Amino acid sequence: MKLPIAKKMGSLQWANKTGGKLRLIDKFEIARQSFIASRLARQKSDKFNKLISYDVNSLKLPDTMAVKSAINLLEKLSSPEIIMHSYRTYYWGALLAKCNKISFDSEQLLVAALAHDLGLSGNIEVVKEDHCFTLTSAKLISKKLTALNYSPEKTHNICEAITRHINPLVPISNGAEAHLLNAGAMLDVIGSRINEIDQAIINDVLILHPRTNFKNNITHCFCQQRKIHPGSRIALLGNNGLNNLITRAPFES
């Protein structure tokens, strides 16, 4: 059976229109993306680029007002586990970019990484119209960036990356930052593409930003989201084995 295509599923436009609540066509799109992502992963396991040697300390974090604002918001709202995950997501995305020679805007990727899971916080009021934590995350950082008179185009790119990041597949055609945010988050949560980075480099990132109790914390956060937003992407993914993938990720915690 040929699956219908909902190409904008997960985009900021889609999230604002639907509130992040899945329609039937969106569920088909998740199935389609999952199939393609699985096939691409098998192909990459046979032949892939690998980052053998790299000094992670050379990945200097941009020191800008936008980054500082995102850090303040992250530290105000999120748990220590999510804070560390957000930084690791940036590092993994940037390292995969180095490995695959992908050019990206480091400020936009960092702000997106710092803000992508703000909506998982238990310290914010649940908005009835928002059925997905990624939309909440995008709205929170958009408000901060707008107050800074930050570029509307860059703000849109950051929010677009955030709302797309839990899609099973985010091709580079959706934007380098969106692609790398998804890749970095997926690596940290379920270990996707970890073979592309040498173990010594992985260890260096984990020294900078440890994974203390992360698997338990993120599983709890996602279970809460399934209860609060049963019609969301994270609920559908959770109902189809996401927790098992988190448990089996190649990290101790």
Transcribe 211-235 into DSSP letters.
-TTHHHHHHHHHHHHHHH-TTSHHH
pLDDT in tens, 100-151: 999 999 999 999 999 999 999 987 776 778 999 999 999 999 999 999 999 9
Residue pointed to by tokens 């790119």 = 157
224 pLDDT above the threshold of 70: yes
| Angstrom distance (rounded) from CA 178 to CA 247 | 25
Q: Which helix (H) or strand (E) holds 206?
A: helix 199-208
Confidence of residue 44 (pLDDT cuts 50, 70, 90): low
CA angle, residues 51, 115, 141, in degrees to nearest 5: 140
Question: What is the mean pLDDT of the segment spanning 90-101?
Answer: 96
Residue pointed to by tokens 């990206």 = 104
| Angstrom distance (rounded) from CA 93 to CA 7 | 23
DSSP letter assigned to residue 60: P
8 Å CB contact between 93 and 180: yes
pLDDT > 90: what percent of the chain? 84
| Angstrom distance (rounded) from CA 253 to CA 118 | 21
User: Long-range pairs for 226-231 at CB < 8 Å and ≥24 separation?
Assistant: 228/126, 229/20, 229/21, 229/131, 229/132, 229/133, 231/21, 231/22, 231/131
Tokens standing for residue 149: 């008179």
Q: What is the per-residue pLDDT for 4?
A: 46
Q: Who has greater pLDDT, 125 or 88?
A: 88
What length does the chain have?
253
Number of Cβ within a 10 Å radius of residue 156: 16
pLDDT > 70: what percent of the chain? 94
- Collapsing DSSP to helix, strand or coil, 127 comes out as coil
Predicted TM-score of the model (pTM): 0.94
Tokens standing for residue 72: 């303040």
196 pLDDT above the threshold of 60: yes
- 71-107 as b/e, with b when 16 or more CB fall inside 10 Å? bebbeebbbebbbbbbbbbbbbbbbbbbbbebebbbb
32 pLDDT above the threshold of 60: yes
| Angstrom distance (rounded) from CA 245 to CA 67 | 31
Please state, rounded to an integer, the average pLDDT across all residues of the chain: 92
Non-local (6+) Cβ contacts of 220 within 8 A are none
| Angstrom distance (rounded) from CA 140 to CA 234 | 19
Confidence of residue 3 (pLDDT cuts 50, 70, 90): very low
8 Å CB contact between 60 and 10: no
- Collapsing DSSP to helix, strand or coil, 126 comes out as coil
